[in-house]
Amino acid sequence: MDTFLSLLRHRRSIRQYTSEPVSAEDIKALCQAALMSPAGKRLNPWEFIVVTDHEKLNAMSQCRTYGSQMLEQAPLGIVICADSHKSDTWMFDSAITAENIMLCATDLSLGSCWVQVYGREHEDPTGHFTTAEAWVRHLLNIPDNISVVCVISIGHPNEQRKDYDIDKLPYDKIHQEHW
């Protein structure tokens, strides 16, 4: 990307991917972007699980009734977890990390999409799991003391989305000096 603002204009939620795997070099860059994320008091409460196994991605795609299906065809998912006892800013730190990963994906010409896990319900007709977090925790053997914040689906885009039009941004959301 030419500039940071052009990167931001180009980053869109991509939910359709080709079957081409994400290269090991790109996965390393995405992990580096995650690890360079700012964190309150530099406590780094986050942990990451890199998932490339298609069966696990398919199972994770069922963690929610709506909003997680893109994981089924994604060649890569990065699960962002955090130790909520390590820092009172764990949720914010994790969200910042997710954005770093998604911006890095865009810079690498990859598509990505945030899948909210924490605080979301999982509608399992058998009643074994009641939350998306419990579903992902069980699937990936995540310890009980670690919160599952989200999964970032990543892959080579199989859809095109228009860049943000800077003339159509909601500038009325910006206030100067007072509300």
Residue 129 confidence (pLDDT): 64
Q: What is the mean pLDDT of residues 118-130?
A: 79
Question: Over the stretch 55-70, which tens digit does the pLDDT of each residue have?
Answer: 999 999 999 988 999 9
The range of the structural domain enclosing residue 33 comes to: 17-153
Whether 46 is in a domain gets the answer: yes
- Contact between 39 and 87 under an 8 Å Cβ cutoff? The reply is yes
Q: Under a CB-based contact definition with an 8 Å cutoff, are residues 82 and 137 in contact?
A: no
Tell me, yes or no, whether 11 lies in a domain. Answer: no
Pick the range with the lowest mean pLDDT from 53-57, 121-125, 145-149: 121-125
- 115 inside domain: yes
In a domain, 172, yes or no: no
pLDDT of 123: 77
**Residue 179: inside a domain, yes or no?**
no
CB 122 within 8 A of CB 134: yes
**152 closest CA partner among 13, 21, 26, 29:** 13
Distance between CA atoms of residues 5 and 178, nearest Å: 26
What mean pLDDT is predicted for residues 105-122?
96
pLDDT value at 1 more than 60: no
Whole-model pTM: value is 0.95
Structural domains of the chain, count: 1
Assess if residue 133 is contained within a domain: yes
**Residue 65 maps to a domain:** yes
Tell me: pLDDT of 130 over 70.
yes
Write the CATH number for 85: 3.40.109.10
Q: What is the pLDDT of residues 147-172, one digit of tens each?
A: 999 999 999 999 999 999 999 999 99
In-domain check, residue 102:
yes
